Amino acid sequence: MRRLIVAILFLSVFINACTKKEKSASTENDSVDATVSESIARGQIVYKQYCIACHMADGLGAPPMNPPLSGTSFIKGDKNLLIPVILKGMTGQSIDGQKYHNVMPPLDFLTDEQIADVLTYVRNSFGNKEDVITSEQVSVVRGK
């Protein structure tokens, strides 16, 4: 009987510890999700102010002048290649085999956070689902 009581107590403590760990992980994930959501919301504001005229509200661009932002290798690819596009602009670049003729001006006057937010927005809109870009990553690329 005593072994049964000890086993029940042990099981109770074990279940309680597991439940706390799950709640803690859930709270941490909720916090991360909220941070990403906030970045996307801020990025949407930057997009509407600086990007929408060329890349359109649906992110499909205006071929052959302005490239789409939906599913392109630039958007889905290496962050360290994407960030300089915002900082330095781009012209005459072929994207996924299609050449676009309009000039994208440099937007280097944007803060690191604004660039990170707008790229996170674009990488998670228009059918894209990519990881976030942080202001720290932008700062590193800007510093090169």
Specify whether the CB–CB gap between 126 and 70 falls below 8 A.
yes
CB atoms within 10 A of CB 113: 17
Burial class (CB in 10 A: 0-12, 13-18, 19+), 19: exposed
> What residues are paired with 62 via a beta bridge?
66
Amino acid at 23: K
Distance in angstroms (rounded) separating the CA atoms of residues 43 and 69: 14
Q: Which two tokens stand for residue 5?
A: 């009581």
Query: Can you tell me whether residue 66 is helix, strand or coil?
Result: strand
pLDDT tens for each residue of the chain, 144 residues long: 556 554 454 445 445 554 444 444 444 446 558 899 999 999 999 999 999 999 999 999 999 999 999 999 999 999 999 999 999 999 988 999 999 999 999 999 999 999 999 999 999 999 999 999 999 999 999 998
Q: pTM score, two decimals?
A: 0.78
- Residue 15 pLDDT: 55
pLDDT of res. 32: 57
Task: Report d(CA 23, CA 15) in Å as an integer.
Answer: 12
Identify whether the C-beta of residue 67 lies closer than 8 Å to the C-beta of residue 142.
no
Dihedral of alpha carbons 137, 34, 115, 71, sign: positive
pLDDT of amino acid 51: 97
Of the candidates 65, 28, 50, the residue with the CA atom closest to the CA atom of residue 122: 50
